[in-house]
Structure formats: structure tokens, C-alpha cells
């Protein structure tokens, strides 16, 4: 990568995840997150030469120019399920690399109603039968995948509660998190079973919120930001034949370990020129506690089956080898789909800059990983460095 192609993050901003007033629209949250990121970067909306926004169901992102300012800026809207934030970030970074602008903005937002996501089968290429038989309800997929993984790798169900308890403890220290109450492993295990082995507190909830990131050409970033964070890599991948993915109507009996998360993470590390062992803080998709277990291995942060020993040794905690989901992840924050991936980037940027407050990873981590995974089997990963 040439100096002109290098991209840095110079500002981040969030509207806290959770539940907000009915009158506070998703678009308004997105615009507020953008303003906070611009303020953090010390630049004005008029300085932005390219913008990208993502939302699953809460408005057309490029409409927020009515609120931010009618500057004529190119504004692209993206939608990639839970990987929307990663797609927005990659698109904004590519605009800088292509020479279209020196400064770009990526923003994501959503305002989901209570209850499970109401996905439409026709949007995924299925007939109505797929929803009528209950196959469009994602928790049943998460439960099946967690059950299969735990059994294959001889891991106990209690591991799910241990990881969830860790996330809620982190969320309690995060002022932007929705769920800020510490829950014990027993409280999590004894909560209502949703899809075995997953109980109520092992699954995230649809929520509301927004996050935004300001990017700049790296050779300009040092003049704009006291400690810019390099976007060393951002990659996206879809599923391959044989991978076991959400909203996949069939699975080969010969299915192996193929996964878009494996492919996206490997590509990100290769592009950044680092290895998983270099990662000092990570954010992994944890739509459910089982997903965090699986994604720890799929991103290369540990071996399959090693997750229990990592947790028992405290390696996933703030003082451990791989602090994971230090802002509470999806379990504590909930998931406004369009914003979730950029929330992860927001957290890792704060950690790498030493601005994470009570949840700051000690020792000054220098490499961070973010990972998102969404329907119908797509993943995006970033590697961030200082």
C-alpha cells in the first residue's frame, strides 16, 4: 500500500445504544453520531468529500444531508445485514484510496421495534413457506449452531453463561451501553430458555442507536488528529459451499469448517501484515454467546475447543492476552443493525488511543480487530493499528 493509499481514523462518535424517545428517529440518531465524530476529528461537515451510511430499516442514510448540510457531497447508502458497518467503512476508505477525497465519513444507525427481527423471505430468495415454517426466526439457527459447535468440540454449556457474564460486566463499565447491570452466571443459566442451549441473557436484543467514523488520508491525518488510528485492513467475504450459515435452507452432510468469518479475518490479517497473536483488543460478533465462542476460533484468535481454557485463565479479560468485547458487545449493547459494526470500530479506536476509561485495556494495545457477521452468511473484519 502506497502512502497515498493509506487511510487513518481521526474521529469517532456514537449515540448510546438502547431505547430512546419515539420521536428520536433513526435518521436523527445517525446525524447526531456523525456530528459527534466530526467534532472528535476537529473537522466540519463541509470538509467531508465522501460519505457512506447504512441502515437496515430506519431510513435512507443519504437523506441525512438535509440535517447535516446541503454541500453536494457524494453520499452512498449500503445494506449488508449485521455487516453493514463494515461495508460502510470499506466503501468510505476506498473512496479515499481512489483519490476521490481526503476526508470521508462512515455512519450507521437503526431504530428497531421490540421483539425478534421480522425478516422477509423474498429478500433472501425464499418462498413464503420458509417463514411460515418458522425458519426465518434467527434464534433457532443460533441455538442449533451453538449446540452443534459445543458438542463437536466437547465444550460445556456453562461456557455460554461465563462468556455472557463477562460481557455484562464490561457493559456495566460502559456509559454508552444499554444493559449496564452485572449478571451472574447462575442468573444467566436460570433465565428463560429461548432456543436450547441459549437462554434469554445469552442472546442480544434489537435496539436503537448510531455510530460514525471519520477517515482521512494517512499523510494528512497527523495534522488533523493527535493520535490517528491506522485502518490497516478492512475486508468482506460471503459464504462458501458447505458453510453453516443463518438463512441457509440446506446444509451438506459433509460440511466442514468453511465460514465467511474465517475468510474475512484471514484476508484482513494478510493485508495488514500482522497475525492474530499480535491482537491486543478485539470486538467479535456476539449476537448470542455461542457466536462469540465460535468467532474466537474462526478469526484465528484461538484454536477450536480452546475457548474454555482461555476464559478460565482470564485471557479474555482486561488483563488477559485477548480482551474481547470490552464495551459489552451485542449482549450488553443490543444491536441496531446498521450501527453495530461501527460501534465495534468506535470501541477499538478508544482502546488504541487510551480513551476507554474504566474499561481501558492496560499496557497500551497497538493492534485491534473488529469482526461482524450477518445474514445470509456475510462477514467483515478490520485490523486497526497505532
35-74 tens-digit pLDDT: 999 999 999 999 999 999 999 888 899 999 999 999 999 9
Same domain as 50, residue 159: no
Residue 269's pLDDT band (boundaries 50, 70, 90)?
very high
Quick one: angle between helices 289-298 and 138-152, nearest 10?
Answer: 50
Alpha-carbon distance 318 to 179, whole Å? 19
Cis geometry, peptide bond prior to residue 211 (ω within 30 degrees of 0): no
Alpha-carbon distance 232 to 269, whole Å? 9
- The pLDDT score that the predictor gives to residue 4 is 53
Same domain as 158, residue 254: yes
Same domain as 198, residue 95: no
Composition of the chain by helix, strand, coil, percent to 5: 40, 20, 40
Domain ranges, residue 319: 138-203+231-385
Same domain as 300, residue 152: yes
Flag whether 122 is in a domain.
no
CATH of the domain at 381: 3.40.47.10
Q: What is the pLDDT of residues 286-311, one digit of tens each?
A: 999 999 999 999 999 999 999 999 99
- The pLDDT score that the predictor gives to residue 222 is 84
**DSSP bridge pairs for 379:** 237, 373
- The pLDDT score that the predictor gives to residue 255 is 58
Flag whether 58 is in a domain.
yes
Flag whether 121 is in a domain.
no
Phi and psi for 180 in degrees, rounded to 5? Answer: -115, 30
Same domain as 35, residue 178: no
- The pLDDT score that the predictor gives to residue 224 is 87
Half-sphere exposure (CA, 13 Å, Cβ side) for 11? 26
Q: Which residue has the cell 470486538?
A: 283
Strand segments (E) across 24-80 = 50-54, 75-78
- The pLDDT score that the predictor gives to residue 1 is 53
Whether pLDDT at 83 is above 60: yes
Average pLDDT (156-165) is 96
* Residues 209 and 15: beta-carbon distance below 8 Å: yes
Same domain as 175, residue 324: yes
State if pTM tops 0.85: yes
Mean pLDDT of the chain: 93
Flag whether 243 is in a domain.
yes
Flag whether 329 is in a domain.
yes
Same domain as 52, residue 12: yes
Q: What is the pLDDT of residues 110-134, one digit of tens each?
A: 999 887 777 888 888 889 998 888 8
> Radius of gyration (Cα) for the chain, nearest Å?
19
* Residues 172 and 180: beta-carbon distance below 8 Å: yes
* Residues 383 and 268: beta-carbon distance below 8 Å: yes
Say how many domains are in the chain.
2
- The pLDDT score that the predictor gives to residue 2 is 55
Q: Name, in order, each residue with C-beta under 8 angstroms of 78's C-beta and a sequence gap of 6 or more.
A: 52, 53, 54, 61, 84, 87, 88, 91
DSSP 8-state class, residue 361: P
Q: Which residue has the cell 481454557?
A: 309
- The pLDDT score that the predictor gives to residue 52 is 98
Among the listed residues 64, 46, 44, the one whose alpha carbon sits nearest the alpha carbon of residue 55: 64
* Residues 320 and 337: beta-carbon distance below 8 Å: no
Same domain as 177, residue 85: no
Amino acid at each position: 500500500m502506497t502512502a497515498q493509499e493509506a487511510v487513518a481514523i481521526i474521529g469517532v462518535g456514537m449515540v448510546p445504544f438502547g431505547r430512546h424517545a419515539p420521536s428520536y428517529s433513526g435518521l436523527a440518531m445517525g446525524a447526531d453520531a456523525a456530528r459527534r465524530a466530526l467534532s472528535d476529528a476537529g473537522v466540519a461537515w463541509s470538509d467531508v468529500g465522501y460519505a457512506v451510511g447504512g441502515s437496515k430499516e430506519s431510513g435512507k442514510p443519504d437523506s441525512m444531508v438535509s440535517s447535516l448540510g446541503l454541500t453536494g457531497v457524494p453520499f452512498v447508502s449500503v445494506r449488508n445485514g449485521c455487516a453493514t458497518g463494515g461495508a460502510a467503512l470499506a466503501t468510505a476508505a476506498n473512496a479515499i484510496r481512489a483519490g476521490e477525497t481526503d476526508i470521508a465519513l462512515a455512519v450507521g444507525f437503526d431504530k428497531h421495534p421490540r421483539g425478534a427481527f421480522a425478516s422477509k423471505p423474498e429478500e433472501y430468495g425464499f418462498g413464503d413457506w420458509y417463514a411460515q415454517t418458522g425458519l426465518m426466526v434467527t434464534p433457532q439457527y443460533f441455538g442449533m449452531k451453538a449446540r452443534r459447535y459445543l458438542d463437536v468440540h466437547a465444550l460445556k454449556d456453562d461456557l455460554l453463561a461465563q462468556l455472557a457474564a463477562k460481557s455484562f460486566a464490561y457493559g456495566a463499565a460502559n456509559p454508552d451501553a444499554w444493559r449496564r447491570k452485572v449478571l451472574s452466571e447462575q442468573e444467566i443459566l436460570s433465565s428463560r430458555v429461548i432456543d436450547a442451549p441459549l437462554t434469554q441473557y445469552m442472546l442480544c436484543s434489537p435496539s436503537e442507536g448510531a455510530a460514525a467514523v471519520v477517515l482521512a488520508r494517512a499523510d494528512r491525518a497527523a495534522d488533523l488528529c493527535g493520535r490517528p488510528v491506522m485502518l490497516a485492513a478492512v475486508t468482506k467475504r460471503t459464504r462458501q459451499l458447505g458453510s453453516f450459515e443463518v438463512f441457509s435452507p440446506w446444509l451438506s452432510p459433509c460440511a466442514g469448517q468453511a465460514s465467511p468469518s474465517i475468510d474475512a479475518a484471514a484476508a484482513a490479517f494478510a493485508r495488514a501484515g500482522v497475525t492474530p497473536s499480535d491482537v491486543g483488543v478485539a470486538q467479535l460478533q456476539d449476537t448470542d454467546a455461542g457466536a462469540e465462542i465460535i468467532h474466537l476460533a474462526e478469526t484465528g484468535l484461538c484454536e477450536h475447543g480452546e475457548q474454555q481454557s482461555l476464559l478460565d485463565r482470564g485471557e479474555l479479560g482486561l488483563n488477559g492476552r485477548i480482551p474481547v468485547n470490552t464495551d459489552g458487545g451485542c449482549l450488553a449493547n443490543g444491536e441496531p443493525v446498521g450501527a453495530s459494526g461501527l460501534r465495534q470500530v468506535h470501541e477499538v479506536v478508544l482502546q488504541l488511543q487510551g480513551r476507554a476509561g474504566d474499561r481501558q485495556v492496560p499496557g497500551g494495545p497497538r493492534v485491534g480487530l473488529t469482526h461482524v457477521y450477518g445474514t445470509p452468511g456475510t462477514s467483515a473484519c478490520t485490523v486497526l493499528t497505532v
